[in-house]
Amino acid sequence: EVSIVKKDTNTQTCLSGAVYGIYSDPECKNLIVKMPATDKNGASKVSFVKTQETVYLKEITAPRGYLVETKAENIKLEAAGKTVTVTDKEQKANILIYKQGEVLTGALTTDTGVTFQYEKRKQPGAVFEVTAAADIVRADGTTVYKKGEVIKSGLKTDASGSVSLKNLYLGSYKITETKAPANLICKGESKEITLSYAGQTVETVVEEMTFTNDRQKANVTVVKKDIDTEKPLAGGVYALYAGNDIKNVDGSVIVKKGTLIEKATTGADGSALYQADLPIGNSYDVKEDKAPNLYVRNTTDVFTFH
C-alpha cells in the first residue's frame, strides 16, 4: 500500500485533485496502477500486488493552478506500507506593459513651407500603478489582495518603452497610468487584465498590455487689426518661421532656424489659423509678409512664442 499527502510547496496547504501513477520503471513508462485523486486533506492511497522492491511515483495531473511535478519519486516498498509527502508549486504570472505615442521623426521642406512627420514609437518615462481589480486569491484559496488594494506603484517604462511586474498570483488586475512621457497627454487611463491558469506545464503566464497616448499639440492664430480703430482686417499675410533648429526624436536637425514653415492670410474677422502640426518644445517667429490693401507692412516687429 502506498499513501501520499499532497501539499503546496510554499504554504504547506493540503491540496485536492492531484492524480499520481505508480510505475515499474524509472522512466515512468510502465504504469502499475493509477492512484485516486487526492481528497480535501490532500490524501490518496492505493493497494496493489508487490512484484518488485522499488516502484516509482510520478504526478499525472496537478491540482488546478499548480505546475505538474515532472520528477519521479523512488518508493521502496515496505510491509507496513509507505506514506510520501509530495508538493507542487503554484503557477505565477508576469505583466508586461508597453507605452507608445507619436514622436517627431522628420520634415518635408518645400519653398512654400514645412510638413512635419510623426510616427508611433515606444516611449520611456510613463509611470503606472497596478491594483487588484477583484480579490486576488491563491490557488490554495488564500486571499492575498483585496479588491482595490495597491500592488505596485511607480512602475516606469524604460528606454525600450516597457516595464514588467513579475511573480504575480493569478487573477484580475487594473493598470492605471499616473504620468505620461514628455510631450504626451496623461488622461489617467485604466485597463484591466486577467491572468488565467494556462495549464499544468506552463511555469509562468505572461500577458501584455499597451497604452497609447495622444501627443500634445499647438494651435497658433494671428489676429490683424487697424492700429487706430482696432477694426479686424482681412488680407494680412503672416509668415511663421522656425525660431531655433528643430530636432527629431533621434536628435538630428530636420528644420534649421529661420526656415519658413507656413504663411497664413487673415479672413474677414481679422484672424488666421496656421495649419502646420507644430512640434512643441521649440521656438517660433511670426512676421508680417504682406499688409492688407491700403495698409503699410510692418517690417519691424517679430512676434516670438515657444
Residue range 116-137, pLDDT digits in tens: 999 999 999 999 999 999 999 9
Mean pLDDT of 153-181: 97
Q: Which of 247, 246, 240 is nearest to 305 (CA)?
A: 240
Mean pLDDT over each residue of the chain, to the nearest integer: 95
- Would you state the pLDDT for residue 155? 97
Mean pLDDT of 155-176: 97
Q: What is the pLDDT of residues 203-244, one digit of tens each?
A: 999 999 999 999 999 999 999 999 999 999 999 999 999 999
**Eight-state DSSP code of residue 182:** T
Q: Is the pLDDT score of 79 beyond 80?
A: no
H helix and E strand count, the chain: 0, 25
User: From the centroid of its chain, how far is CA 295?
Assistant: 57
CB 266, CB 286: distance < 8 Å: no
- Would you state the pLDDT for residue 231? 96
Mean pLDDT of 180-190: 93
C-alpha cell at 171: 487573477
Q: What is the pLDDT of residues 23-57, one digit of tens each?
A: 999 999 999 999 999 999 999 999 999 999 999 99
Q: Band the pLDDT of 82: cuts 50, 70, 90.
A: confident
> How far is it, in rounded angstroms, from Cα 273 to Cα 287?
14
Q: How many of the other CB atoms lie within 10 Å of CB of 301?
A: 8
**Eight-state DSSP code of residue 111:** T
**Eight-state DSSP code of residue 189:** -
C-alpha cell at 113: 513651407
Q: Band the pLDDT of 113: cuts 50, 70, 90.
A: very high
How far does the chain reach from its first CA to its final CA, in angstroms? 84
- Would you state the pLDDT for residue 80? 74
CB 89, CB 66: distance < 8 Å: yes
SS (H, E, C) 225-258: ECCCCCCECCCCEEEEEECCCEECCCCCEEECCC
> How far is it, in rounded angstroms, from Cα 91 to Cα 8?
11
CB 54, CB 76: distance < 8 Å: yes
Q: Is residue 278 classed exposed, middle or buried when 0-12, 13-18 and 19+ CB atoms within 10 A define those classes?
A: buried
- Would you state the pLDDT for residue 202? 96
pTM, rounded to two decimals? 0.85
- Would you state the pLDDT for residue 182? 86
Mean pLDDT of 189-216: 96
- Would you state the pLDDT for residue 279? 96
Q: Comparing 77-81, 173-177, 182-186, 282-286, which segment has the lowest mean pLDDT?
A: 77-81
- Would you state the pLDDT for residue 161? 96
